[in-house]
Amino acid sequence: MAQSHYETLKALLSKDGSSFTKSRKVVFDLLLDQGAQSMQVLSKRAEGQVDRATIYRTIELFERLGIVHRVNVGWKYKIELSDIFLGHHHHFYCTGCGTTYSLSTNSMLETMIDSAVAKEGFSPRSHQLEISGLCPNCQS
């Protein structure tokens, strides 16, 4: 059975010699609770609990440890928990309504992406695919 998300988080932090603090828990919970979020939304939601500067520092740490990653959605970036927490997936950004959809994984596609670059001598570690266009609702 897989570790709980908190256990995974704690393990990653402690492996780095960093501690599991209240602020870090708050930020992690906010990310668990909703999908990709902008820095401003995170700051707003954490208001009164965690200072803005601490959020930036926390995200920087989380990113370095592979706990979160940035996703480019439409115009500005957002922060999202990484694959170990959410499972691997991609994003579809609807230019009609601005919504971002998570796309279920297609293992054939994943394999193909990695092997395409491996064939050219690169050693892929991760990838990010963002597709944009119109969602079913906006096609009419």
**Residues at the interface with DNA (CB under 7 A):** 17-24, 39-40, 49-54, 56-58, 60, 77
Distance of CA 25 to the CA centre of its chain: 16
Under the binding rule (CB under 8 A), the answer on residue 98 touching its own copies is: no
Longest dimension (CA), the chain: 53
Stretch that binds its own copies, among 42-50, 51-59, 79-87, 130-138 (CB under 8 A): 130-138
The partner in contact with residue 122, picked from DNA, its own copies, none with C-beta cut-offs of 5 to 8 angstroms by kind, is its own copies
Minimal CA–CA distance to 5: which of 62, 77, 58, 89?
A: 62
Task: Say how far apart CA 91 and CA 62 lie, in whole Å.
Answer: 21
CB nearer DNA, residue 17 or residue 136: 17
Asked whether the beta carbons of 73 and 42 are under 8 A apart, the reply is no
The partner in contact with residue 85, picked from its own copies, DNA, none with C-beta cut-offs of 5 to 8 angstroms by kind, is none
